[in-house]
Amino acid sequence: MKRLPIPGTLLAAVLSCIPLVHAAPAASALPVVPLLIGDTLDEQGKPRPMPAVKRKVLDAVAQELGVTFEPRTYPWARAERYAIDGVGLVYGLPKTADRLSALRYSDTASHNSLWLVTRSDATFPFSRLEDLRGKTVGTVRGYSYGPEFDTARGKLFRTDEDISSRGTRLTRLMLKRVDVVLLFQPDGLSAKDLENDIRAFMAPRLPAIGAAANAGFSVLPKPLATDSGQFFAIARAKDDGIIDRINAALARIQKREEEARRQRAPN
């Protein structure tokens, strides 16, 4: 039987009946809440598993709310349209002026940095957006990288939009179809950490690329953006207290994490 999206009013009613305690009820009794998320694909266009970092955030918030999130993945442009149309909550959709007028956003649920990846034989100095002048930047189709970047598209630099497949986009970089690829990564990873992750991820794919893969990958030392938050959001007309409850859950999670960090800190 097909499960229908939970409208905002019903979702708020479900959440309003849940006591704000940390312990969650048995899994079988948890209400299911559809959650719109942009897809991440492999080179064949098939969905990849959700990254562990994202899953950890969603599981923590769901536990606080006493619900089970049911991720529904779509291309970002469609996920945005469904969210604005009031289909349900969306997670990970960046803020823009237009979206802020249509959606109510939660407080920050997690933090990301936006890194620039190049071929090792084609690095360039980068400290500001102007340094991308004349370059072709590999981006995810339908995704926003912030108002300043979006305004500069097609003027300062051109973008090569592709599916949300890291392997496909990095392969295009090796083949010189683009000059640089943008990758979001959770805060805490350094440029060197990301380079090592990329090399391990791409190692099985390099033989098929051929001689072009000999250059290797480099992550530029300065990210394009830091502290780029990840948020929950819902259509303003459908927000009957949902975002307030999510914000309260995020605050409790953050407080516990801060207490745990203090306990681990040396005296």
Q: How many domains does the chain have?
A: 2
Residue 35 confidence (pLDDT) above 90: yes
Using 50, 70 and 90 to split pLDDT, how confident is the model at 188? low
Residue 176 confidence (pLDDT) above 80: yes
Identify whether 1 is part of a domain.
no
> What mean pLDDT is predicted for residues 39-57?
78
Residue 126 confidence (pLDDT) above 70: yes
Q: What is the mean pLDDT of the chain?
A: 84
Of 257, 191, 243, nearest to 220 (Cα)? 191
Residue 63 confidence (pLDDT) above 90: yes
Using 50, 70 and 90 to split pLDDT, how confident is the model at 258? confident
For 244-257, how does the pLDDT look when each residue is reduced to its tens digit (9 = 90+)? 999 999 999 989 98
Residues 200, 245, single domain; the answer is no
Using 50, 70 and 90 to split pLDDT, how confident is the model at 41? confident
Round to whole Å and give the CA distance between 90 and 33. 11
pLDDT for residue 97: 87
Residue 50 confidence (pLDDT) above 50: yes
pLDDT for residue 43: 64
218: left (phi over 0), alpha (psi -120 to 50) or beta: beta
Identify whether 12 is part of a domain.
yes
> What mean pLDDT is predicted for residues 42-55?
77
Residues 124, 203, single domain; the answer is yes
CB atoms within 10 A of CB 200: 9
pLDDT for residue 144: 79
pLDDT for residue 53: 78
Round to whole Å and give the CA distance between 246 and 65. 7
pTM value is 0.64
Residues 194, 88, single domain; the answer is no
pLDDT for residue 141: 85
Identify whether 104 is part of a domain.
yes
Residues 245, 194, single domain; the answer is no
Calculate the CA dihedral of residues 242, 146, 82, 75 and round it to 10 degrees.
-130
Identify whether 213 is part of a domain.
yes
> What mean pLDDT is predicted for residues 77-84?
94
Round to whole Å and give the CA distance between 255 and 64. 13
Residues 158, 27, single domain; the answer is no
Residue 3 confidence (pLDDT) above 60: no
Query: Can you give the residue range of the structural domain that contains 158?
Result: 112-227
